[in-house]
Structure 1
Amino acid sequence: MNSDASPWRRLLGRARRAFNWVTGLTLAGQVVVMLALSINDVIRRRHRKVRRFPTVAPEPFAIAGGNRLSIYTFGQDLYDDMLDSINAARDYVYFETYIWKSDEVGQQFKDALIAASERGVRVHVVYDVFGNMVVDPRFFEFPASVQLRRHPLISSPVPSVRMSGRDHRKMLVVDGHDAYLGGYNIGSLYADRWRDTHMRVQGPAAGEIENAFVDYWNMKPVGLMPPKSLPKLPDPDGRGWDTPLVVHRNTPRWRVYPIRNMYLEAIDRAEHRILLTHAYLIPDDDLTAALFAAARRGVDVRIIVPAQSNHVVADWLSRGFYDELLSKGVRLFLFQGAMVHAKTATIDGVWSTIGTANLDRLSLSGNYEANAEFTDPAVATKLEQIFESDLTNCIELTLDQWRSRSKVAQATEAFLAPWRPVF
């Protein structure tokens, strides 16, 4: 009986070794393809000319509860107002960002924060170490008057989504009544060459964004070598139930990811139109199913994505969804000549969101993110105006055009498809 089983064991062993060899070879090939695409993209971008794109002026408008809202579509406009807010601070400044370049714009923010701290303003700063790995670490040296928290590169020796999420949030809070939230990182590149979206709320509702910052700051530090605990911040005062916006926060430490469900619920309610603008479109099965169901019931579903983003691999993974999206009634518009990095949506002229989360796994179930949700026709009207402005710089992609792409492109998309759940 043992002699009969021995050939089967040898056969199974050979099959297992062959499977491992093929799997390893495939994985190596995928990595090589992604590296080649990335290198080619770096070379291509060096020769890309700066191209202007349409923007909408950030004119403040009234929303409920005695608040005013401004929506920014041009980085320099945003940076000017953020710096003015920091320079006018009297009590405290909370500043959080994912990427903070050590260029002219980055230095302006650093100087403004230090100057505020030197005149007695309490300044608290958070930045993500991974997002700034290419920045000279000396740039992040601050005087003791600035309270600094670094989101660690490695949160735990044991890999897990819960302990490895990046701090992808971008927010600024000044004196409890002036707050900013959106997709803009800090740097000269984003001042005039990227089309992004950020919001500013002035009034009591700024406390909603402040609360998101305070809750993160007060979490116990983690990491392989966690720093000493920083002084805790007080919770903001006057946060009532009747607020014009709700800030949804993905928090890996707490295993809480409400932004994905916020989108699913809003899409499920849609009756007339869904307008999405996203930098990286790599939706999961539930999100695609929700969009398809909306299109089937007659909802006009439109999505703006960059024709070429700053992450070429994400582009190739995203393109793997285009055929099914287009064939099931979703309309895709490719933003031309510049990176569109916005993370916004508006539905039926009523519901809207502006925030930091992309429609991909990293944002919806991996990173620390924050999105403001509105149920306000005034906000929806403004975002629809911005969407229409962006469409003037887009080319609509049709199903026939997409299916006529080269066989090499189709094969590359299929070859990289197993990586979609990672992004």
Structure 2
Amino acid sequence: MIGYVNLRRLGTWLRRILLGLFGSQLLIIAVLTGIDSYRKRFRPQPSFPYCLPQTLADDSGDVRIYTFGADLYDDMLADIDAATTRIDFETFIWKSDGYGQRVKDALTRAAHRGVDVHVIYDRFANLVVPRRFFDLDPKIHVHEHPLLRRGQPAWLPTSWARTHRKLLIIDSKVAYLGGYNIGDLYATDWRDTHIRLSGSPVPELENAFIDFWNADARPVLPEVTERTWDSPVRVHRNIPSLFTFPIRSMYLEAIDRANRNCWMTHAYLIPDEGLTSTLIAAASRGVDVRIIVPAASNHVVADWLSRGFYRRLLEGGVRLFLFQNAMVHAKTATIDGIWSTIGTANMDNLSLAFNYELNVEILGAETAQVMEGIFSQDLGNCVEVTLEEWERRSIVAKATEAILAPLRPLF
């Protein structure tokens, strides 16, 4: 009897502790969000260096890399206007502003001149966009990725997975992929990275679009038949409905192979234990491991969750750099002057173990050289975080990180 009473008391105290922790987390999130919203009113106009689009050519086709949204959108719009047979367009966020309307109008024009246009967008990501904006022309085939994916039990986390992909394919000849959503903000105020590909990688990306489309949308699209085994560009796609998440494995393998340098840029740095230990192991064997993250991202809670990893990474020899004066939203890495990746997946659990994502993996010295040049330019707009400085942060900051730490697996 005494043991039963003690167990009940223990259970009561555990519930109180958990409820107290949860309440503290909610309070901290509310306070951080409020402070961040207030500060945004007084932040200066974003400014940052960027590179002009650079085009490379190899046996697989042309590669063009973008670091400024307006340059990217101009080329995307030109290719949409030049399309003659089919357009496949997929995005996470699609704003109903200037550039958003220009993309919508270009797709409508293409459909009216006989181009077969297919559009995928994520419902949840566009909840704040007026619904009438997505009343697209009847000639356009549209799939709105729903809040809850049909055909799977609602209790499965993968049923709630978002399509975080940003993909455009023109006439099966040209493909765009990267971190840029569609909107005026991203055109000028965010530092992101996107890639335009031609040649052998295009059928692989087209196949990724078709597989996703055919799983839930109609009319059914024909499968791609002209794919190759020998392209220096490989496509990796996370498919939650199949519990398949190869992008994380791609990163682990590439970092584990690094001998000279591993330079990464990520909007949100919330790595799991495997990625954290692999980065530290690379640094411990003498690899120059550097990671650029935003000094202040568009998600303040993600920033605080990310900071909980800084001490361990810094102690392990990883160098961290905070991008100043703008949001850096890129999802890129380059290693040893030969390996690079550009895509849609962030370094967090939402991207690597939950959402639909696409990354290309490129083996080539020329592409790696361009990526290293972009990284070096971005470094000039960063402030490095040192372990000594980080240890001097306030006790309030340390306590906030500790209270929020249990939320890391959810981000």
TM range (shorter): over 0.9
- Match of 1:358, SS? coil
Q: Does 1:344 align with 2:332?
A: yes
Among 22, 32, 43, the residue aligned to 1:27: 22
Deviation larger for 156-165 or 279-288: 156-165
Alignment of 1:238 onto 2:226: yes
Where do residues 5-404 of structure 1 align in structure 2 (5 Å cutoff)? 6-65=1-60, 67-155=61-149, 158-219=154-215, 221=216, 229-404=217-392
CA distance in 2, matches of 1:204, 1:407: 54
Task: Decide whether the 8 Å contact of 2:290 with 2:319 is kept in 1.
Answer: yes
Paired amino acid for 2:17: V
- C-alpha contact 2:29 2:301 (8 A) present in aligned 1: yes
Query: What's the offset of the Cα at 1:42?
Result: 1.4
Structure 2 unmatched runs, 5+: none
Number of residue pairs the alignment of both structures matches: 409
Counterpart CA distance in 1 for 2:177 and 2:364 is 17
Structure-2 separation of matches of 1:307 and 1:212: 34
The letter for the 2-side match of 1:56 is C
Task: Look up the equivalent residue of 1:411 and give its one-letter code.
Answer: A
Do the aligned partners of 2:321 and 2:382 also contact (CA within 8 Å) in 1? yes
- Return the letter of the residue paired with 2:234: V
Q: Aligned-pair distance for 1:181?
A: 0.2
Q: Residue 158 of structure 2 contacts residue 241 of structure 2 at CA under 8 Å; is this kept in 1?
A: yes
Hey, what's the Cα distance between the residues in 2 that align with 1:150 and 1:335? Answer: 34
Q: Does structure 1 residue 406 correspond to structure 2 residue 406?
A: no
Q: CA deviation at 1:188?
A: 0.5
Return the offset for 1:208.
1.7
Q: 1:8, CA displacement in angstroms?
A: 2.3
Partners of 2:155 and 2:122 in 1: CA distance: 18
SS at the partner of 1:357?
A: coil
SS, match of residue 218 in structure 1:
helix
Q: Please say if residues 96 and 170 of structure 1, whose CA atoms lie closer than 8 Å, have aligned partners that are also in contact.
A: yes
User: Which deviations, in whole Å up to 9, do the C-alpha atoms of 1:352-377 show, x marking residues without a partner?
Assistant: 10000001000000000000001111
Give the superposition deviation at 1:315.
0.3
Query: Partner amino acid for 2:187?
Result: A
Query: Within 2, Cα distance between the matches of 1:247 and 1:42?
Result: 38
**Contact 1:176–1:236 at 8 Å: present in 2 too?**
no
Q: Match for 2:338: what amino acid?
A: V
- Residues of 1 paired with 2:276 and 2:229: CA distance? 33
Q: Which letter does structure 1 place at the counterpart of 2:222?
A: P
- State percent identity of aligned pairs: 54
Distance 1:63 1:310 in 2: 37
CA RMSD in angstroms comes to 1.0
Q: What is the deviation of 1:21?
A: 1.7
- Given that 2:96 and 2:130 are in contact with CA atoms closer than 8 Å, whether structure 1 keeps it comes out as yes
Look up the equivalent residue of 1:330 and give its one-letter code.
Answer: V
Measure how far apart 1:38 and its partner are: 1.1
Q: Structure 1 stretches (4+) deviating beyond 6 angstroms?
A: none
2: CA distance, partners of 1:363 / 1:89: 31
Partners of 1:406 and 1:356 lie apart in 2 by: 34
Q: Cα deviation per residue 1:119-150 (whole Å; 9 max; x = unaligned)? A: 10000000000110111111101122000001
In 1, the alpha carbon distance for the partners of 2:248 and 2:201 equals 23
Residues in 1 aligned to 2:242 and 2:198: alpha-carbon distance in whole angstroms: 29
For 1:353 and 1:80, the matched residues in 2 are separated by 23
Amino acid at match of 1:194: W
Quick check: 1:63–1:244 contact (8 Å CA) kept in 2?
Answer: no
Contact map agreement 2:93 2:125 (CA 8 A) in 1 = yes
- 2:148–2:154: 8 Å Cα contact kept in structure 1? no
- CA distance in 2: counterparts of 1:120 and 1:216, whole angstroms: 23
1:195–1:340 CA contact under 8 A, matched in 2: yes
SS in 1 for 2:342: strand
Q: Could you tell me which amino acid in structure 2 is paired with residue 250 of structure 1?
A: N
Q: CA deviation at 1:157?
A: 5.6
Amino acid at match of 1:280: Y
TM-score, normalised to structure 2's length? 0.98
* Conserved? CA contact 2:200–2:228, under 8 Å: no
Partner residue in 2 for 1:3 = none
SS in structure 2 at match of 1:239: coil
Q: Deviations over 1:156-184 (max 9, x none)?
A: 56222221110000010000111100000
Structure 2 distance, partners of 1:30, 1:59, is 45
Partner of 1:226: none
- Could you tell me how far 1:393 is from its partner in structure 2? 0.3
Cα distance in 2, alignment partners of residues 360 and 52 from structure 1? 26
